Chains A and B, each alone.
Chain A
Amino acid sequence: MARKIAFKTLGCRLNQYETDSVTSDFINAGYEIVNFSEEADAYVVNTCTVTNMSDHKSRQTYNQVYRRNPDAVLVVTGCMANNHKEDLESNNRITYTIKNDRKGSIFNLLDSHFKGEIISPDQLKADRFGFGAAEKSIRTRSMIKIQDGCNNFCTFCIVPHVRGRAESRPYSEIEKNIKHALEFGYKEIVLTGVNIGRYERDGLNFEDIVGKVLEIPGYFRVRISSIEPEGFGDKLFNLFQNPKLTPHLHLCLQSGSEKILLAMRRQYSVDDFRIMVSKILNRIPDFNFTTDIMVGFPGETESEFRETCKVAEEIGFSHIHTFKYSVRKGTRAERMPNQVQEKVKTERSLIIRDIAENNKKKYRSSFIGKTQKVLVEKIDKTGFAKGYGEHYFPVRFKADELTQTKDFKLVRVNGLLDDQDFTVTAKPV
């Protein structure tokens, strides 16, 4: 009988991409992938350490697994394995602690383990790009890792410490990965990494890479995942006029206060951000901007927070991922005075949440009567299909004769559901 493996991913898309790729290694070798709540021979927890909350959730996840199934092999990987390696290695509930650069070898480690050969994680090959395209059955869109690490050292951020220094993947490997994904039948490619705007390799920058990826023949579209507002300009904005590149960016603002941005050591000003947005909107007026906002950065005053609210309303981000600042050991912000009270952070994040909801409703309503090319993710038992249009918001429509998922369907938007997410409703065209 096939061995069973279960995966749990916390944190960012890059982590998800890496889990998908490792999962594919197991599928291809005949292992059975089961839900994380089910009984398995091995559990792999791909952790996150970006906030206190992520540490807490990661710990909770592997402790729960151990309590439920103490005999199973427990692998803990991801950013927590980099940030708290010694703690995890001394925890005898955890069988293997695997740092990010060896994550791509988890299949070799576990496969050998089940064959009776115990490999020390340090013997595994370190390769931050040792990940293949995900097997088709796993996702609707294929993430492609083009870059890892970050040298920006924003003062609040632990990522450069846990993901390491910036490194870009050679274009030939990116292209190979994408062609593989297209062969698997993927219709949407998501370019991902830690700080992809800073891609730099063999004389190519991020804009060059996007341009080259768009030239790869095939019926597919390209999405840019989360990106810092730096390292690109008009060349990228012009590429958005190519219908193959989806009109959506998750452009991380973090704060709308110039002073806080300086203290965060971000590489742009609020004005730079506004200019970028307006340049894109001049080309594509219904472009979808989503963002990350951090509230309660040390020293953030009420009026600086209000500046952020103002920018969030003015730009109209249709989705805002709000973070409450939390101290990360070893970062510069850890040593900053005027840490903001937890209660104030919570109040501020609720205010941002309200703004985000209003923005979302307004933005999505503006699509009523317009078409969306939906990449169908699933068709539920009640006969409704769900997926994301090119602008990247969820769309639901009656499937009728449609039976196939993971392909495009052109629909016309006719309303919004009153659910939490303001899901857009539509009719096939």
Chain B
Amino acid sequence: MEVTINTIFTVQGVRHLTDSTYIVRLDRKGMMFVPGQNLNIGLAGDPEKRDYSIYSSLEDNFLDILVKEVDDGLVSKKLKKLKPGDSIEVDGPFGFFTIKDEDISTKKFLFIASGTGIGPFHSIALSYPELNYKLIHGVRNRNETYEKDHYPAGCYIGCLSKDKKGEFRGRVTDYLRQNPVDPDTLCYLCGNVNMIYDAFDILKEQGVPSGNLHAEVYF
């Protein structure tokens, strides 16, 4: 697949989902990608760049990324201030956090995300509507269950650690302990390294072989 290097993309707009989380929409410019991949992004001419998973689907004629503004963060703060028509520099797509064509219609998937780690799963779920999956999303409050209505009924399970109004009260790790996973499931985990590490341990205890575990660590 062709990889774009230092290419200028135009911002179509920024949509705010919460006070700190937003979606940046860019022109797609015909970019080919595999759902689950990420882009390396920075303001035009700014050497500081960061990785962001593609949030939009293969069908869309734009590229979306879902970003959380990090306290004291350098790039996530700058991206939040982008305006329609602004230019940003993009490298990519990169990454191997993708699913194999032959598994799409034959396998069962479990997606486990913390925070904006839901990004690649949004792209995967919307790109492959026939996929048999469950998405477990760990956040604090219900306002962080970003666009959960985009997933078919029963596929999205919000695990809210500080809010009673969700599908599950507690952390994703609590959910996994209470709902053991069939070892044949292909498990994809994305977000914070501690969550992924703890979830790996639980899944391995439940008999999921290491070959069925895939991770994308954000920080």
Residue numbers of A with Cβ under 8 A of B are 151, 153, 165, 230, 258-259, 262-263, 265, 267, 269, 271-272, 275, 330
Asked if B196 is at the interface of the complex by the 8 Å CB criterion, the answer is yes
A259 and B193: CB pair below 8 A?
yes
A275 and B211: CB pair below 8 A?
yes
A262 and B197: CB pair below 8 A?
yes
Chain A residues in 8 Å Cβ range of B32: none
CB distance from A303 to the nearest CB of B (A): 13
A271 to B200 Cα, complex, angstroms: 11
12 extra interchain contacts, Cβ-Cβ under 8 A, other than A272-B211, A275-B211? A151-B3, A151-B95, A153-B51, A258-B197, A263-B193, A265-B217, A267-B96, A269-B200, A269-B210, A269-B213, A271-B204, A275-B210
CB distance from A132 to the nearest CB of B (A): 27
B210 and A151: CB pair below 8 A?
no
CB distance from A59 to the nearest CB of B (A): 22
How many residues of chain B get a CB closer than 8 Å to chain A's CBs?
Answer: 17
Chain B residues in 8 Å Cβ range of A153: 51, 94
CB distance from B121 to the nearest CB of A (A): 18
CB distance from B196 to the nearest CB of A (A): 6
A-B contact pairs, 12 of them (CB 8 A): A153-B51, A165-B3, A258-B197, A262-B193, A262-B215, A267-B96, A269-B200, A271-B204, A271-B210, A272-B211, A275-B211, A330-B47
Least CB separation from A160: chain B residue:
B94
Least CB separation from B40: chain A residue:
A153
B94 and A151: CB pair below 8 A?
yes
A258 to B217 Cα, complex, angstroms: 12
A263 to B219 Cα, complex, angstroms: 7
Chain A residues in 8 Å Cβ range of B47: 330
CB distance from A265 to the nearest CB of B (A): 6
Chain B residues in 8 Å Cβ range of A272: 210-211
CB distance from B93 to the nearest CB of A (A): 9
A230 to B204 Cα, complex, angstroms: 20
- In-complex Cβ contact of A262 among B3, B196, B210, B211 (8 A): B196
Least CB separation from A153: chain B residue:
B94
Chain A residues in 8 Å Cβ range of B213: 269
A258 and B94: CB pair below 8 A?
no
A262 and B96: CB pair below 8 A?
no
Chain B residues in 8 Å Cβ range of A275: 210-211
Chain A residues in 8 Å Cβ range of B211: 272, 275
Chain A residues in 8 Å Cβ range of B210: 269, 271-272, 275
Chain A residues in 8 Å Cβ range of B200: 258, 262, 269
Chain A residues in 8 Å Cβ range of B3: 151, 165
A153 to B200 Cα, complex, angstroms: 22
B217 and A165: CB pair below 8 A?
no
A303 to B200 Cα, complex, angstroms: 18
Interface centre among B94, B200, B213, B217 (most CB of A within 10 A): B217
B94 and A259: CB pair below 8 A?
no
Chain B residues in 8 Å Cβ range of A259: 193, 197
Chain B residues in 8 Å Cβ range of A262: 193, 196-197, 200, 215, 217
